[in-house]
């Protein structure tokens, strides 16, 4: 299909007088990983439910793979795999039997289904556990089984709601590699998560939700520039008077704040040498200077600082 694979215009959901999602306009292109960010209650999950046709919009429209989720829910379900934050399987049945049940719902015959199930379990490294009851699976295994379900039905879009919630660091890393492999296959992924480091590591673009609206959207590199004015932070430990003003005058420095006894400097690049000279020139005694890269978490924090200040 031509155009975005997910498209919304004025998408709104109200529960009485409460507006959960407020006139959303956004697009997701085929083959990209798009992240939905925001605190609990920001409207992310409600948006996902409308895209799946599981809740009716109050107003506005959505198109998923060219179909209206509300009026053509079966067409959407054939093309979309959904993984909620709490994955539901029949614990007393094996992974294979759970997937066979989904395959029947998807209209696959037994032979076709078994071939697809075997391939998908191998892909997510669960071939050894397919015959075991799902009740014996760890949380990470259940999450991988959910991805196997999406692969088995041949979905072109995966919608993942908090997919790494409750996973240990190793399971999280494995799951991230799985998401990257799905992207390499050309699958479109809509990912909702509180874990900003996770989102930054796998997403092409992100949208930051606040009170049912999208406050920011774009590529992470662009947001670092637009929100922070640069992509680097530099920690400066020094003694002396008026050092904040001296550092703030260095070309390329976009912000200087206090971080305890140290200065936290945001800049367009690694300006440690220039900042060190500025400190010494101002009569300061430099004891430590270190640089790092700004992150999506910095963007998130700054954005909500601005929201709180405006309020």
**Which has the higher per-residue pLDDT, 300 or 8?**
8
Mean pLDDT of 215-236: 86
Alpha-helix residue ranges (DSSP H) falling in the chain? 44-51, 73-79, 95-105, 110-123, 139-152, 169-184, 196-202, 220-228, 243-248, 272-281, 296-310
- In this prediction, residue 223 carries a pLDDT of 86
Among candidates 208, 204, 281, which has minimal Cα distance to 246? 281
- In this prediction, residue 10 carries a pLDDT of 96
| Phi, psi torsion values for 294, nearest 5 degrees | -65, 160
Q: What is the pLDDT of residues 268-287, one digit of tens each?
A: 889 999 999 999 999 999 99
Residue bearing tokens 């399987």: 89
Q: How confident is the model at residue 211 (pLDDT cuts 50, 70, 90)?
A: confident
Q: What is the pLDDT of residues 49-93, one digit of tens each?
A: 999 999 999 999 999 999 999 999 999 998 999 998 777 899 999
Question: How many whole angstroms separate alpha carbon 144 and alpha carbon 168?
Answer: 14
| Coil, helix or strand at residue 125 | coil
pLDDT greater than 90 at residue 105: no
Lowest-pLDDT range of 17-21, 105-109, 131-135: 105-109
pLDDT greater than 80 at residue 194: no
Strand pairing report for 232-239 and 59-64: unpaired
The overall average pLDDT reported for the chain is 90
- In this prediction, residue 164 carries a pLDDT of 80
Q: What is the pLDDT of residues 135-144, one digit of tens each?
A: 999 988 998 9
- In this prediction, residue 195 carries a pLDDT of 76
Q: CB under 8 Å to 55, separation ≥6 — which residues?
A: 13, 46, 49
Q: What is the pLDDT of residues 141-176, one digit of tens each?
A: 998 999 999 999 899 999 999 888 777 888 888 888
Q: How confident is the model at residue 1 (pLDDT cuts 50, 70, 90)?
A: low
Contact 7, 63 (CB under 8 A): yes
- In this prediction, residue 107 carries a pLDDT of 84
- In this prediction, residue 309 carries a pLDDT of 60
**Which has the higher per-residue pLDDT, 155 or 221?**
155
Rounded to a whole number of angstroms, the CA Rg of the chain reads 24
pLDDT greater than 90 at residue 298: no
Question: How many whole angstroms separate alpha carbon 202 and alpha carbon 183?
Answer: 9
- In this prediction, residue 310 carries a pLDDT of 60
- In this prediction, residue 282 carries a pLDDT of 95
Q: How confident is the model at residue 226 (pLDDT cuts 50, 70, 90)?
A: confident
Domains and CATH numbers, the chain: 6-218 (3.40.50.300), 224-310 (3.30.70.100)
- In this prediction, residue 220 carries a pLDDT of 86
- In this prediction, residue 230 carries a pLDDT of 75
């Amino acid at each position: 299909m031509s155009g975005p694979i997910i498209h919304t215009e004025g998408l709104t959901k109200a529960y009485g007088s409460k507006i959960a999602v407020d006139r959303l306009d956004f697009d997701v292109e085929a083959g990209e990983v798009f992240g939905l960010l925001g605190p609990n209650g920001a409207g992310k999950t409600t948006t996902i439910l409308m895209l799946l046709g599981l809740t009716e919009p109050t107003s506005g429209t959505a198109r998923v793979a060219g179909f209206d989720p509300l009026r053509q829910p079966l067409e959407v379900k054939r093309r979309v795999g959904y993984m909620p934050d709490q994955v539901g399987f029949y614990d007393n049945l094996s992974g294979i039997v759970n997937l066979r049940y989904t395959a029947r719902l998807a209209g696959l015959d037994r032979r076709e289904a078994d071939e697809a199930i075997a391939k998908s379990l191998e892909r997510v490294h669960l071939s050894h556990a397919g015959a075991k009851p799902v009740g014996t699976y760890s949380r990470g295994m259940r999450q991988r089984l959910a991805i196997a379900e999406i692969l088995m039905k041949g979905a072109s879009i995966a919608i993942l709601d908090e997919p790494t919630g409750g996973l240990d660091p190793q399971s999280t890393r494995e799951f991230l590699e799985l998401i990257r492999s799905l992207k390499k296959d050309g699958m479109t992924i809509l990912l909702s998560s509180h874990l900003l480091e996770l989102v930054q590591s796998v997403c092409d673009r992100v949208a930051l939700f606040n009170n049912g609206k999208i406050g920011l959207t774009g590529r992470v590199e662009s947001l670092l520039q637009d929100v922070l004015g640069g992509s680097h932070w530099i920690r400066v430990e020094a003694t002396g008077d008026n050092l904040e003003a001296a550092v703030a005058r260095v070309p390329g420095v976009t912000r200087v704040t206090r971080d305890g006894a140290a200065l936290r400097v945001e800049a367009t690049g690694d300006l440690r040498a220039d900042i060190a000279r500025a400190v010494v020139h101002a009569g300061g005694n430099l004891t430590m200077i270190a640089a790092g890269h700004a992150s999506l978490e910095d963007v998130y924090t700054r954005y909500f600082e601005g929201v709180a200040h405006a309020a």
